Amino acid sequence: MPPHVLFLCIHNAGRSQMAAGWLRHLAAGRIDVSSAGSEPADSPNPAAVEAMREVGIDIAAQVPERWTDEALKTVDLVVTMGCGDECPVYPDTQYLDWPVADPSGQSVAVVRPIRDDLKRRIEGLIEMLTDSTVPAEA
């Protein structure tokens, strides 16, 4: 059974959607992926959608969702991005916190480096999850 990663941010419209898009694309089914937010937006961030489209990944149809306790209890790893105390913490769940810039309200030109930063992080995450187990102090 593949590991399951959940990306969490506030609006689930930019960072978490781009990260999920990268992981789905680069892991090619080796890792289950979901994303959610504490205060989901109505739709994905248009600049994030365009930036990902430029690299051949379509996140336009992704729907921002609110995280649920049930979802958090079923994942192997939660990656938080900028949600601070808004993101829930469960003692038996592994966490990583990525300090990724917020693309909200930004132009595509500003979002491109965020997209590229997320790609680098996702490549490392795939290596970590497919070459070994998630470290206890992630």
| Residues recognised as catalytic | 9, 83, 87
Name the percent of the chain in helix, strand, coil, to the closest 5: 40, 15, 45
Q: In sequence order, what DSSP letters do the residues of 33-91 get, joined into one string?
A: EEEEESS--SS--HHHHHHHHTTT---TT----B--HHHHHH-SEEEE-S-GGGS---T
